[in-house]
Amino acid sequence: MNATNPEPLIPPILLVGCGRMGAALLAGWRERGLAPSVAIDPAPEAQRHAKSDLAVLADAGAIPTGFAPAAVVLAVKPQNAADALAPLTRFAASAVTLSIMAGRTIAGIRRLLGGTAAVVRAMPNTPAAIRQGVSVACAAEGVSPAQRALCDRLLRSIGTVTWAEEEGLLDPVTAVSGSGPAYVFLLAELLEQAAIAQGIPGEMARLLARQTVAGSGALLVAGNEDAAQLRKAVTSPGGTTERALAVLMAPDAWPATLSRAIAEATARSRELAQ
């Protein structure tokens, strides 16, 4: 424990990949207190994450012989999985492996680690950077309660966590929440463009679009009403919102296109797992 955090330190972690999501995880762990850990990332810029609680190494071969992580966290691109996991098999018997690689299945990860590794697969999203992410996790058979609790703690440092019993759900989860921030950013982008088209100055258009999306999201999270109720509360009969929603909610508009988009993203997630 430390003076500012009554929880015990997060135990030693081997973080593989210090990109956007790996860095978000690391920042969240540090806020909660992190025991001396190791990160593997060959990119020179990864060295900026090195501190007294973290050694950043360019190659797994440089990991100190006596280092014994409680968890190995895989935050590399899925196409790099085989190369990244090959030198990590020695940890598979003692550490839980937490993967946030899109599309890489538990069975596939186990094959690369030797077949009996304790693996938890999770899909977080980019609001993790401000500790507002949401992660869905699935534990392989054989993951102990303590290992699952550790993975839950690691993911909870970047936001909300929920667990799925069926790994197949992670494909639509990837489509909905993993890719979802891009859909929201697109909404803000299109709102800004539409505002400018109606004569609103650019800076004002950007402010209106961004704050409307951000404030609406905060309102949705803060209350107990569901999205449909909040939408109806904004929609006065015969008013401007009703006129706009008549366009957006037409059968061939948002209801169809968003559903089709999620289906396409889900299919792509399944393709990546092949």
Number of domains in the chain: 2
Query: What is the per-residue pLDDT for 78?
Result: 85
Residue that is last in its domain, among 140, 170, 200: 170
DSSP readout, 157-178?
A: TTEEEEE-S-GGGHHHHIIIII
- Are 171 and 263 in contact by the 8 Å Cβ rule? The answer is no
Cβ neighbors of 265 (< 8 A, separation 6 or more) are: 174, 175, 179
Q: Is residue 81 part of a domain?
A: yes
Domain encompassing residue 73:
13-170
Q: Beta partners for 37? A: 54
Query: What is d(CA 148, CA 248) in angstroms, rounded to the nearest whole number?
Result: 42
Instruction: Say if residue 55 is in the same domain as residue 100.
Output: yes
Rounded to whole angstroms, the Cα distance separating 266 from 11 reads 34
Q: Where are the beta strands (DSSP E) in 58-164?
A: 71-74, 96-99, 119-123, 133-139, 159-163
Q: Is the pLDDT of residue 109 over 70?
A: yes
Q: What is the mean pLDDT of residues 3-23?
A: 88
Select from 170, 194, 209 the last residue of a domain: 170
pLDDT tens digits, one per residue of 28-56: 999 999 999 999 999 999 999 999 999 99
For residue range 185-220, list pLDDT tens digits in order.
999 999 999 999 999 999 999 999 999 999 999 999
Task: Please check whether residues 163 and 83 belong to one and the same domain.
Answer: yes
Predicted structure pTM score = 0.91
Same-domain check for residues 210 and 160: no
What's the CATH number where 207 sits? 1.10.3730.10
